[in-house]
Amino acid sequence: MSSRPAAGGGRWVEVDPGRVTRWVEGFTGRHGPPTTTVHEYGLLLTAPDGATAELHTPPGASASADVPGFVAAAGAARRFGLLLARKGAVAVGIADGTDLVVSKVDTRYVQGRTAAGGWSQQRFARRRDNQAKAALGDAAELAVRLLLPEAGTLAALVCGGDRRAVDTVLADRRLAPLAELRAPRLLDVPEPRHAVLVAAVAAARAVHILVR
């Protein structure tokens, strides 16, 4: 379980689906038995002392009207795609339940920033931009080859890394069926590597809870 401050107050907690029941029991023990209401994002628990917990349905999971149903849906096996992109690296994969069953990582050199000025700096900037465009083009081709044929089997597409890079890849019109499956969640990941892709499966399945 991990925790981070939330904009506007409170904190975000990421909980493995198998531990959500215990987390809710702890919340109840600290704040009293909560009432449960259904929202577009998932469930809202409101305790007698005013504390609240928003349980956000993980990507690809079905909606539910109560905590037991939410836990069952969050923990259910489902097939989803992963697209991680950052600078010159991209990783794509398909998860079936908790297992990564398809994976591919590709890297392409992208020029770093330079402190030089004038025409030299502009030349390096153009070269860097061209290298970045080529890398994202390769990423789109990788998604076309590995993810697109499986689009009909996927419950969601979970993306991570740099949002602009991901947006650029999914702007390829061939990937429209995948773009329609894109989940709102954007995973915060370092430069994509196979180990990062493996870890992204658990991050994509985690239940995000906003506590205030």
pLDDT tens, residue by residue, 41-60: 999 999 999 999 999 999 99
d(CA 90, CA 159): 11
Phi, psi of 171 (to 5 degrees): -75, -15
Q: How far apart, in whole angstroms, are the C-alpha atoms of residue 121 and residue 112?
A: 11
Whether residue 123 is predicted with pLDDT greater than 70 in this model: the reply is: no
pLDDT at site 125: 47
- Same domain for 42 and 102? no
Whether residue 118 has pLDDT greater than 80:
no
Assess if residue 209 is contained within a domain. Answer: no
Residues 143 and 164 occupy one common structural domain: yes
Q: Which domain holds residue 156?
A: 79-204
Are 91 and 13 in the same domain? no
- Single pTM value for the model: 0.85
Q: Helix or strand or coil: residue 72?
A: helix
Q: 108: which residues sit within 8 A by CB, 6+ positions away?
A: 88, 89, 131, 134, 135, 138
Domain-located, residue 212: no
89-96/79-86 β-pairing: antiparallel
What percentage of residues in the chain have a pLDDT greater than 90? 76
Does any domain span residue 211? no
- Given this model, what pLDDT does residue 72 score? 97
Question: Do residue 125 and residue 185 come from a single domain?
Answer: yes
Q: Is 25 within the bounds of a domain?
A: yes
Domain boundary among 49, 77, 105: 77
Neighbour tally for 155: CB within 10 Å? 18
- Whether residue 171 is contained in a domain is answered as yes
Residue 114: its pLDDT value, please? 47
Residues 46 and 87 in one domain: no
- Clarify whether residues 113 and 99 are in a common domain: yes
Asked if residue 129 is part of any domain, the answer here is yes
Together in a domain, 63 and 101: no
> Domains in the chain: how many in total?
2
Question: Are 89 and 171 in a shared domain?
Answer: yes
Span 13-36, average pLDDT: 97
Q: What is the pLDDT of residues 152-198, one digit of tens each?
A: 999 999 999 999 999 999 999 999 999 999 999 999 999 899 999 99
Domain-embedded: residue 27: yes
